[in-house]
Each structure stands twice: as C-alpha cells, then as structure tokens.
Structure 1
C-alpha cells in the first residue's frame, strides 16, 4: 500500500492566505475598472467630446444640406445624447417638400438625417416660367425656370388648387415608365365633368381621360398602343372603357 502524504495545517495556512489575497486583488481590480469606466463616461458626457461635430444629410435633391440641418434644429453645440430625435423628425416633416425624415446617432459625435422628398411629377407653367411641382401639389417657386427641358410632363390650365392636387397625386402613383411618355397634361373641364383632362403624348397620340382613377386607368396605355398600326394617329379614350378614335375619320 502507498502511504498518503499528510500535509500539516501549518503548511496549508500560507497557501490559503495567498489564494485569498489573489482573490481580493482581483475583486479590487474589477471594482477599480468599473469606477474608472463610470468616471470616463461622466467626463465624456460633460465634456465637448460628446457634442455633435458632424451632421450628414442624405436623400435631399431639392433642399440644400444647410436648410435641412437648420429645420431639424440640430447644432454642433448640442450634446449628442440629449437631442430629441422625434422632435427633429417632426420639424423636418412640416416642410411641404419632405415626405418623411429619420434622425440617427452615430457615435461618437455624428448625426445622420435621412429624408425622403416628395417626387417631382411635372412642371407647372405660369406665363413664360416653369416651376417643378411635387406629388403633393407643391410648386417649387425657388426653382423657377425660363425654359422647359421636357424631362417631366407640363401641367397646364389647372387654375383650381383642388384639381391640381388631385392630378399631381395621380401622377405620383403612375409608373415612371408611363409618366415619361406624357408630354403635357391639360385640364379641360366641362359642365358635366370637371375632372376631364387631355394628354399630349410623346409618341404623337392624344389621351382623353379623367383625373379620377387616372393612375390606375392609364396603366393600360402601353398595351393599347402596341395594338395600333405604326402610322395610326388619333385619340385614345381611357376611362370606364378604352377605345381609339383616329384623326382620319375615313
């Protein structure tokens, strides 16, 4: 039989003391680390290190970065942790050009503003001037043009704001590929139908339609045109039904 080695209590006491000392040192180091981290956080929050240094703006086409930042009420002197993101977003969305806004923190000192502007659906003609007009009916007076470049439909004759807003809303819902085919949209109301409109298309056709459900009804336009002869010219009537009326009555 092997003899078991017997360790006396005198030999164990120094080892126990050393183990307890190591454990106490580790605990002290842990608490000191927590203490210094908390101190660092307090110093960061109270110092200019936590102030906004950079504000990035994305998604703007019609508005400048400076005007977006100004309307958000954010400044470089603000603490990044005290900004009211919801209040800034609400302030931005009061702008008739902005459809939605999102404000995000990007540590340590950057804020990003992401906006979505209403889409430009055409140009409003007033005399010899042309103003880009958005899907909510807002005409951008500050972006006046004296010439028309044809990159969006001309909107003509809408002297009642109610019908202008309805028309721009329908144009916004219309697929871009079809909207690009439109050269001019004229409001041509009659006593019986105040929603009547006439469209001049880039491919030479005229379209007789109504503001009501225009975006939905106009989706069939490309398929109608493909069924016509290449030399056919006339009026395409789109409404409850659809039919083609040739300029050549014969």
Structure 2
C-alpha cells in the first residue's frame, strides 16, 4: 500500500472537530431562528398588527355596511388570520335580506365582503302600516306611508299570507319598467280561485290575472297598452287568453291608495 496515501488518525482529528463544530453551529442557528420566529408570531397575535385594518362591504343598497359587519360578528379587534370565511358567510346569511355572501382576504389585513340582497318587490299594507316585501316573500319591519317610494306596488287586502311568497317570487321576475307601472295588487275576493288577482296600474288600466305564471303573462302588457292607445281605458284580462273590456260611461274603478 502506498504510504503517501495513508491518513493517520492524528491528521483526521482537526478535520473531524471542524465538521462537528459546523454541525453544532448550524443546529444552533436553526434553533435560534425557530425561537425568534415563535416570538415574532406570539408578538404578532398579541399586538395590533394582527387586527383587521380595513373592511369593505359592497353590493348592499338597503342594508348599511355596519349592520352587515355586525351580523358577521366582526370587530376591529378581530384577528385577521383567525377569521373564518365560512363562519362570516353563515352569520350574514342569517339576515333575511341577504341572498348570497362572498368573503375575500386581501393584503394588508383587508377584509372584503360582497353581498347580494333580495330585491324589494312591493309593500304589504296591514293595519295602517306598510311592510316591505322581498322577492323571497319575507316581510321587513313596517314603515310609515310617508317613507314609501312612489315606484313600488302596494299589496292590499292580502288575507291569505300563504300566497304572499309565490306573488313576491313572480314580482321578482318582472322588469323594473313593468313593476313601476303597478300601483296596487289585490286578491280577487269574488273569485272562487284563490290565485286570482286584480291589479290597478298607474296608467289607468285594470289587469285581472292569476299568480301562477304571472310574470310571463305580464311580459306582453306594454305591447298591449301600446296597441290600445292612450284614450282607451278598461280591464285587460290576462289568463288563459288575453282580452280587453273597455270601461263604459260609468266611472272607472279607482285604487284605494292615494299615491
């Protein structure tokens, strides 16, 4: 064996010591890094740096930003990283006025809440108060007549509340142009069919129809009125077949509300 290639144990000891020291130093650096990282995490969660810095609510028209934030159980002291998107969505959806919620987290500690509201399709008059009706059929807190918008129909004498939801659903399918032309909606008390309704329109016509497929039937209302012309007023029956009965010399029926 070549003696020049033989490395004695005395020659290897300094090298082994150096390698062992390097490994020890690396371990120490790793442990110190983990230690300081844990301290930083602890300080972050215990300080204001972890709190929400900004909340943006969008898509709401009838409900205030603050009401939605409170419903989501969010406060300025909430930890941004600990917030659960799913919990916020569930909490806000408990509000009857909200149909959908999307929650997004953005840098830096910015919470974005996008909501979609159910549309208000009319106002139910009951015992002198007016209750906003959502397209879902839910009633909101009653308001006084002075607060009513002029372009929303009033639902009058609606004794069968079970029919309110299907009526609201149908109103939600109408275009705003048609909704704004409806002054009042009544159940037809003289009909044996509980679904029969009478509408008083802002342009002087009376419409008789039924709740079933009401939105589809009303699609043709603007074209019917256009064909009749501005001087012919009467009853437009929109059911299985559509026909028009002109008012006679007697005074045309009037709606009950003074809009």
TM-score, structure 1 as length reference: 0.78
Work out the CA distance in 1 between the residues paired with 2:175 and 2:206. Answer: 19
Contact 1:97 1:118 in 2 (8 A): yes
Distance 1:234 1:140 in 2: 34
Structure 1 equivalent of residue 81 of structure 2: 81
Which residue pairs with 2:252 in the alignment? none
Residues 50 and 236 (structure 1), Cα distance of their counterparts in 2 relative to 1, 3 Å cut? same
Deviation at 1:209, TM superposition (A): 0.4
Partners of 1:191 and 1:243 in 2: how far apart? 18
Matches within 5 A, 1:169-180: 169-180=169-180
What's 2:192 paired with? 192
Alignment RMSD? 2.6
Question: Please, which moves more after superposition, 234-243 or 72-81?
Answer: 72-81
Q: Secondary structure at the match of 2:219?
A: helix
> Which residue of 2 is the match for residue 248 of structure 1?
248
Q: What is aligned with 1:101?
A: 101
Q: TM-score, normalised by structure 2?
A: 0.76
Equivalent pairs, count: 217
Structure 1, unpaired ranges of 5+: 1-27
The separation in 1 between residues aligned to 2:149 and 2:51, in whole angstroms, is 45
- Distance in 1 between the 2:100 and 2:117 partners? 7
Equivalent residue for 2:236?
236
Partners of 2:182 and 2:202 within 8 A in 1: yes
SS of 2:89's equivalent in the other structure is helix
* Displacement after TM superposition at 1:40 (Å): 10
Q: Which runs of 5+ in 2 are unaligned?
A: 1-25, 250-259
Which residue in 2 is equivalent to 1:210?
A: 210
Cross-structure match for 2:254: none
Distance across 1 between alignment mates of 2:79 and 2:68: 19
List per-residue Cα deviations over 1:49-87 (Å, max 9, x = no partner).
122122222222332222211110222222212211011
Measured in 2, the distance between the counterparts of 1:40 and 1:226 equals: 75
Q: Is the 8 A contact 1:208 1:235 kept in 2?
A: yes
| Worse overlay, 170-179 or 106-115 | 106-115
- Give the secondary-structure state (helix, strand or coil) at the position aligned to 1:194: coil
Provide the residue aligned with 1:25 in structure 2: none
Corresponding residue for residue 167 of structure 2: 167
Contact 1:50 1:108 in 2 (8 A): no
For the pair 1:140 / 2:167, whether they are aligned, the reply is: no
Q: Which runs of 4+ in 1 moved over 3 A?
A: 38-47
| Mapping for residues 13-92 of structure 1, pairs under 5 Å | 39=37, 42-43=40-41, 45-46=44-45, 47-92=47-92
1:183 aligns with 183
Alignment of 1:219 with 2:219, yes or no, is: yes
